[in-house]
Amino acid sequence: MEKVLLLRKIQECSIQETSYILGWTEAKVKMKMTRALEALKKEFHQEGGREDGTIKRIR
């Protein structure tokens, strides 16, 4: 899942470009991207992130 996140969000590749690079269908890219973002959100909240997207202060 890291590859799809890296290509789409860091390298700013389109869905079409990402599907070509990974050899996936566009539908698979969309599904993997959705799942990767959900997993990242879940990990963020487990590490102390808040529902509104902010991070609690560490003193």
pLDDT (0 to 100) of residue 23: 97
Residues 13 and 50: their CA atoms lie apart, in Å, by: 29
Integer CA distances (angstroms), 38 to 17, 26, 45, 58, in order: 22, 18, 11, 24
Q: Which distant-in-sequence residues (6+ apart) come within 8 Å of 7 by Cβ?
A: 13, 17, 18, 21, 22
Higher pLDDT, 25 or 56: 25
pLDDT in tens, 26-58: 999 999 999 999 988 888 777 665 666 666 655
